[in-house]
Chains A and B, each alone.
Chain A
Amino acid sequence: MGRGRTAVALAGMGVLALAGSLLLAAGDQGPQAARSALRPPAPGDPLTGDEIARAGEIASATLRTRMSTGRVELLYVERDDDKAAAHLRRADAYIYDYGTDRLIVRTVDLGRGEVVAESAGRGVRPPPSRTEEARAAELLLADPGHGKRIRAAYAEAAGRPLRSASDLGLRALVYTPRRHGAAAAACRTHRCVRLFARLPDGTWLDTTRIAVDLSAKKIIALEW
């Protein structure tokens, strides 16, 4: 048989190169962006890349200072799907405030060019953004024990040293808190993610019992 083997690393060293996290990563054209700019979008079309960028800017307008310090972060922009407003071009900007551990969702009316609704709350767990995913991996690599283990596994799988977190095939999922020990309990209010990391030989790092607390910038060992 040849099931996907979970690679467990042994030892190694390397230097961590931080991938520059883009503050407005969601402004990039994601796969959801309407690619064709040949005609104005129909009401039911996905957001265009331009609309995504514009919605992000409008939603962030009052948060620039806090965004520049990394305290507040735009996660992504999603087309607003409220069927009561289906005739309007609207976008929901998902913003995370790491200072207060709150999710803020701002609805932008692209026609009017302004925020028309806002909701905010603690303990809400939207999926991690690409930027958060990269940051979680950087935190994991910066942890002495895990960093060593991962670099060794990478070197063995790739035949070359790991240069940065972006060398890993990353996938983050939001961590859903359960009774996994005292450290994990913080994740009921903190922003915590689980990380999958694929190596060049197709194997995966064993990250099953790890959560990354992005709010506290800590690695959590899940206990069960």
Chain B
Amino acid sequence: MVTVRLPLTLLLLALAAGLAGVPAAGGATAGRETREAREAREAREVPSGTGTAPAGTVPARAVPPRTAPASRTAPARPACGAPYLVDRRLPNGARWRLCWEMRTIEGLTLTDVAYTPAGGRETSVLRSTALAQIHVPYDSGEPRFHDIGTLGEIAVPLQSADCPGGQRRGQYVCVTTRPRGHAYLKSRFEEPALSAQGHDLAVYSAFQVGWYTYLVEWAFSDDGAITPRVGATGSLSGFTAETGHGWPTGTGGSHVEQSHSHNIFWRLDFDVDGRENDVVEQYDFTGSGTAARTLVRTRFTKETRAVNGRTRWWRVVDTESRNADGHPVSWEINNSASAQYRGPRDEAFTRADLYVSQYRACERLATNNPSPDCAPSVDRYAGSERLTDPVLWVNVSYHHVARDEDADPMPVHWQGFRITPRDVTAENPHLRSRAR
């Protein structure tokens, strides 16, 4: 077990920040102070009625303080400045820092994503994440679109109403805080129930690709969870189909709208607590029709591809970094909500739900990769190289069978997956804020 030491200065700063509502700033320069003051103001911009812990939700009894996760080296500050820096403390005290960039090809890209659990130390999670492809094959077999063009050129300007309770960064990016419902609720003996409300920091943009408008969003929760998701809205293509490949959406049988899939790929360069010592593991649970189930762990030492299973999940674990319980810090990836589209032979990239590849800067898109030095598609990235710095590619499919309700403007349909902390803190991360 690794000994836990939280530097006193950090603790004091965190305390001061928590009390004053100002993010901790060590050795701030004049320029940065201004920025941080602004970020602090943003951090307080939570929707009305969801501000810092209403009296009724504060636990009657403070939870015994637990020390913060083991500290090796403090993570580097996000390398960007205003207006690209997002630094937000959520009402429970958790803090997220990251940089955004509107890249010409990938569109909204987040880098240097770091999480500070309430009362804990900051730890890096993702070096970079962005969309890697939106593949849209229609059910009759054609057409089949690869929707990532120059997303950065087709971002949709957001109105202030498109960014409720938040702040637009330039015209195209919204940074906002919003309630996510209960963080926990527990009844007690002869006392009111113990409960708290949770919040998300959401960062998103919208892109117009042909008929579709795609909302591309990352939500960062105050319990450390990350939810990347894409919402498809705008208009249906209007492609007609034989009834076997579509659904009647016109009056009577006047129009049969063709069904299709949205196969969305995300690239996630995890750097858990720094670039070193990151390992990807797969978890399965054997036993079907039996009373007992057994955990089976597979450690990926080489590049690999994997398919979903109902109870299967993966995690990126830093083998050297431990939480206060002495458990390795990790982030779990769960992709069980995918429709698991499998395409024809010439679309080998659709044949797995998760790819793990060794980091290469020129491997950026899951198909039509725009680099002569790298392979053209993700199935080819996942070769047999030894993994020392894993990049994960998550493929989430949604099969869209149009309904009458999908009339213009089409209601948003969402698809995404979850990244949850596993043993990043030794306690419920939401409760930790109460310990202060």
Contacts and interface: CB of A to CB of B under 8 A. Distances in A.
Q: Bound pair: A and B? A: yes
B154 to A, nearest CB: 7
A127 B147 CA distance: 10
Interface string A76-118: 1111111110100000001000000011110000000000000
A4 B102 contact: no
Contact of B103 (A78, A84, A129): A78
Given A208-B143, A224-B142, A105 B371 contact: yes
Contact of A32 (B104, B208, B237, B372): B104
The size class of the interface chain A forms with chain B is 35 or more
A77 to B, nearest CB: 8
B346 interface: yes
Contacts of B346: 178
A160 interface: no
Contacts of A83: 127-128, 269, 275, 359, 361
Contact of B250 (A1, A44, A94, A174): A1
B190 interface: no
B84 A34 contact: yes
Interface string B233-277: 011111100000000011100010100000000000100000100
Nearest to B99: A44
A121 B362 CA distance: 13
A91 to B, nearest CB: 11
A32 B155 CA distance: 10
Nearest to A46: B101
B373 interface: yes
Interface in B25-49: 31
A209 B144 CA distance: 11
A39 B81 contact: yes
B52 to A, nearest CB: 30
The size class of the interface chain B forms with chain A is 35 or more
B237 A194 contact: no
B371 A5 contact: no
B81 A45 contact: yes
B238 A3 contact: yes
B150 A176 contact: no
B144 A178 contact: yes
Interface string B134-147: 00000001111111
A32 B408 contact: no
Contact of B373 (A32, A80, A119): A119
A43 B80 CA distance: 6
A58 to B, nearest CB: 17
A203 B366 CA distance: 31
B80 A44 contact: yes
Interface in B113-157: 127-128, 141-150, 152-155
B292 interface: no
Interface of B: 31, 78-84, 99, 101-105, 109, 111-112, 127-128, 141-150, 152-155, 170-172, 208-211, 234-239, 249-251, 255, 257, 269, 275, 346, 359, 361-362, 364, 367-373, 376, 402, 404, 406-408, 410
Interface of A: 1-6, 30-32, 34-36, 39, 41-46, 76-84, 86, 94, 102-105, 119-121, 123-130, 171-174, 176, 178, 194, 196, 204, 208-209, 222, 224
Interchain residue pairs A-B with the least CB separation, the first 3: A44-B79, A4-B235, A121-B372
12 contacts: A39-B81, A44-B79, A44-B80, A44-B111, A83-B275, A105-B371, A124-B371, A127-B105, A171-B210, A173-B146, A174-B149, A176-B146
Given A44-B99, A81-B364, 19 more contacts: A1-B249, A1-B255, A3-B402, A3-B408, A4-B211, A30-B153, A32-B152, A44-B80, A44-B84, A45-B84, A76-B104, A79-B103, A105-B373, A126-B370, A129-B150, A171-B209, A172-B149, A173-B149, A174-B149
